[in-house]
């Protein structure tokens, strides 16, 4: 296929005044909603989606993509300045971003996050441009055993997300997995823990859980602390040369990890950001700086996040498989306009696909231009008094929880999760392993059952296939290293500060 020719005509369309305006408007609105604490890309797209339905397909999807990118970036802003991740993918950004903000380096963290996002987003789109048709085929080689191996690999991350206590970490992972069991089983459709109560049949919704655990519990904590907004001045958003030098390898690695894992349908930014953060911590000569404001700890997951988001367009457009919740909402958007993603989309609607791809380039540039100078304004937004912001977040959180399935039950779930999250956070139980197990647990179960169905019950299937064998071996190695590293880090932290390590 003449990729460059297609791309050129795509740019021709993407740079038309209307489409350019839509990309800018989308980025702006997305950032605006994403910057509100607790609201992530999914909620932002869900809230803003009705606005785009009056447009023609191409500008509407361009605007939606802008909202998506903008909200991702906005989410980083609240993660860094307020320690509130709007989405799983922003959790690792909090770990080092917030300490940086507390040290008065919030501006630099935001700057490096914008630069890393731009770099990864653009590189991701370049790769998307050239590999999309080819990669649509490669993704097919991943069958259930390969996905099972991948899930095992992803699960080893729990060890390093557990903060001080492995016991607490695994207990939380178990709790997360337990909550994910509620509803109809993925393979058997057997009701589990539903107590014959209709609403529980559908299980606990991911968005309601996230909104509850992170946004609503945040409001409770804020009210309890009678929090006043951060008044620190953001002096300088442009990182120093030394900062850049330190962050650049992390940006590269984050981009690589985020992109290649993001190609796999089902591998959401929530997984890759943790892996990127972990790898960075493993490779660092000073892993003890992580969690205390290491610039690599911001740069790497932020880059991975955007690279995964860009890569996620490949399985979305080429196979019709959304890799994450916001992409699932985007998929809905495509279908509203009668464009069915799948291998045919590239052949049937090339002008549309390539206009969208070209607009992703444009969107990344717009986002960078918008964000570096406007960081001051976004910060100002986060400084709205808590008495106003708290109820607004609560309202938006409830709307977000409601909008996914149009269900009041989910609003109740988010409220309950808010109370649970508040309690857990007060007592230093780590939320991240819980969320990870909630997301990955059902997938692990599904791929296990599917693989065993394929092999007639023979577990050797995981070791007879090259890719799955490699993944499982990698998981075992990673688990051993991370256990050793966690033990080492904990000892070092105790030596240095005589305190328990908390993430």
Contact residues for another protein, defined by CB under 8 A: 139-144, 183-184, 186-189, 198-199, 201-203, 265, 319-321, 328, 331-332, 335-336, 338, 340, 342-344, 347, 405-407, 446, 449-450, 453-456
Q: Rg of the Cα trace of the chain?
A: 22
353's tokens: 């696909």
Per the listing, tokens 């020719």 go with 5
φ, ψ for residue 38 (rounded to 5)?
90, -10
Report the C-alpha gap between 234 and 376 in whole angstroms.
7
Residues 6+ apart with CB under 8 A from 409: 199, 202
Report the C-alpha gap between 348 and 134 in whole angstroms.
17
Give me the least distance between CB of 146 and another protein, in Å please: 9
Give me the least distance between CB of 187 and another protein, in Å please: 4
Give me the least distance between CB of 456 and another protein, in Å please: 6
Report the C-alpha gap between 306 and 257 in whole angstroms.
11
Residue 277 burial (C-beta neighbours within 10 Å; 0-12, 13-18, 19+): buried
Report the C-alpha gap between 432 and 434 in whole angstroms.
5
Report the C-alpha gap between 39 and 70 in whole angstroms.
12
Pairing state of beta strands 183-184 and 191-192? Answer: antiparallel
Which H or E run contains 183? strand 183-184
Give me the least distance between CB of 139 and another protein, in Å please: 8
Report the C-alpha gap between 162 and 220 in whole angstroms.
23
Find out whether 383 and 231 touch, Cβ atoms under 8 Å.
yes
> In this complex, which beta carbon is closest to another protein, that of residue 44 or of residue 461?
461
Give me the least distance between CB of 265 and another protein, in Å please: 8
Helix (H), strand (E), coil (C) string for 357-382: HHHHHHHHHHHHHHHHHHHHHHHHHH
> In this complex, which beta carbon is closest to another protein, that of residue 316 or of residue 472?
316
> In this complex, which beta carbon is closest to another protein, that of residue 150 or of residue 393?
150
Residues 6+ apart with CB under 8 A from 395: none
> In this complex, which beta carbon is closest to another protein, that of residue 62 or of residue 461?
461
Per the listing, tokens 């780590």 go with 430
Give me the least distance between CB of 344 and another protein, in Å please: 5
> In this complex, which beta carbon is closest to another protein, that of residue 335 or of residue 476?
335
Give me the least distance between CB of 414 and another protein, in Å please: 16
> In this complex, which beta carbon is closest to another protein, that of residue 156 or of residue 414?
414
Report the C-alpha gap between 208 and 199 in whole angstroms.
14
The DSSP bridge partners found for residue 303 are none
Residues 6+ apart with CB under 8 A from 386: 222, 223, 226, 227, 228, 229
> In this complex, which beta carbon is closest to another protein, that of residue 109 or of residue 135?
135
Q: Nearest to residue 471, comparing CAs of 453, 454, 451, 456? A: 451
Give me the least distance between CB of 380 and another protein, in Å please: 36
Give me the least distance between CB of 256 and another protein, in Å please: 24
Give me the least distance between CB of 201 and another protein, in Å please: 4
> In this complex, which beta carbon is closest to another protein, that of residue 95 or of residue 316?
316
């Amino acid at each position: 296929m003449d990729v460059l020719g297609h791309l050129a005509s795509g740019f021709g369309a993407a740079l038309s005044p209307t489409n350019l305006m839509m990309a800018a408007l989308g980025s702006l609105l997305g950032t605006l909603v994403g910057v509100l604490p607790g609201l992530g890309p999914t909620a932002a797209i869900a809230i803003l989606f009705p606005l785009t339905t009056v447009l023609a397909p191409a500008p509407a999807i361009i605007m939606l993509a802008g909202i998506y990118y903008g909200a991702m970036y906005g989410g980083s802003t609240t993660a860094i300045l307020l320690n509130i991740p709007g989405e799983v993918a922003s959790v690792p950004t909090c770990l080092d971003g917030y300490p940086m903000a507390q040290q008065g380096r919030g501006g630099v963290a935001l700057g490096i996050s914008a630069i890393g996002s731009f770099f990864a987003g653009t590189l991701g789109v370049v790769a998307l441009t050239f590999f999309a048709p080819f990669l649509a085929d490669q993704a097919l080689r991943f069958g259930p055993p390969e996905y099972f191996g991948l899930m095992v690999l992803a699960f080893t991350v729990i060890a390093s997300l557990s903060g001080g206590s492995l016991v607490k970490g695994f207990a939380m992972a178990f709790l997360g997995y337990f909550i994910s069991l509620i509803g109809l089983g993925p393979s058997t459709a057997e009701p589990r823990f539903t107590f014959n109560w209709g609403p529980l049949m559908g299980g606990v919704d991911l968005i309601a859980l996230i909104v509850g655990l992170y946004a609503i519990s945040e409001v409770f904590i804020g009210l309890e602390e009678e929090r006043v907004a951060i008044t620190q001045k953001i002096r300088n958003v442009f990182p120093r040369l030394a900062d850049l030098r330190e962050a650049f390898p992390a940006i590269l690695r984050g981009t690589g990890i985020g992109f290649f894992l993001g190609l796999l349908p089902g591998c959401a930014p929530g997984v890759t950001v943790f892996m990127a953060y972990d790898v960075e911590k493993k490779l660092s000569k000073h892993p003890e700086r992580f969690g205390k404001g290491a610039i690599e700890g911001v740069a790497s997951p932020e880059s991975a996040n955007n690279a995964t988001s860009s890569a996620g367009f490949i399985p979305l457009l080429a196979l019709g498989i959304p890799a994450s919740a916001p992409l699932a909402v985007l998929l809905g958007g495509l279908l509203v306009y009668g464009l069915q993603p799948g291998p045919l989309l590239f052949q049937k609607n090339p002008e549309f696909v390539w206009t969208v791809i070209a607009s992703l380039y444009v969107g990344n540039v717009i986002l960078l231009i918008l964000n570096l100078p406007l960081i001051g304004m976004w910060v100002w937004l986060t400084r709205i008094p808590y008495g106003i912001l708290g109820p607004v977040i609560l309202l938006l959180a409830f709307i977000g929880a409601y909008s996914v399935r149009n269900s009041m039950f989910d609003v109740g779930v988010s409220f309950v999760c808010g109370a649970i999250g508040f309690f857990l956070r007060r007592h230093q139980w780590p939320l991240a392993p819980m969320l990870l197990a909630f997301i990955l647990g059902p997938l692990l179960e599904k791929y296990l059952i599917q693989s065993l169905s394929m092999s007639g019950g023979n577990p050797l299937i995981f070791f007879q296939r090259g890719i799955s064998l490699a993944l499982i071996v990698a998981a075992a190695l990673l688990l051993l290293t991370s256990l050793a590293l966690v033990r080492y880090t904990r000892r070092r932290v105790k030596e240095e500060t005589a305190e328990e390590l908390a993430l």
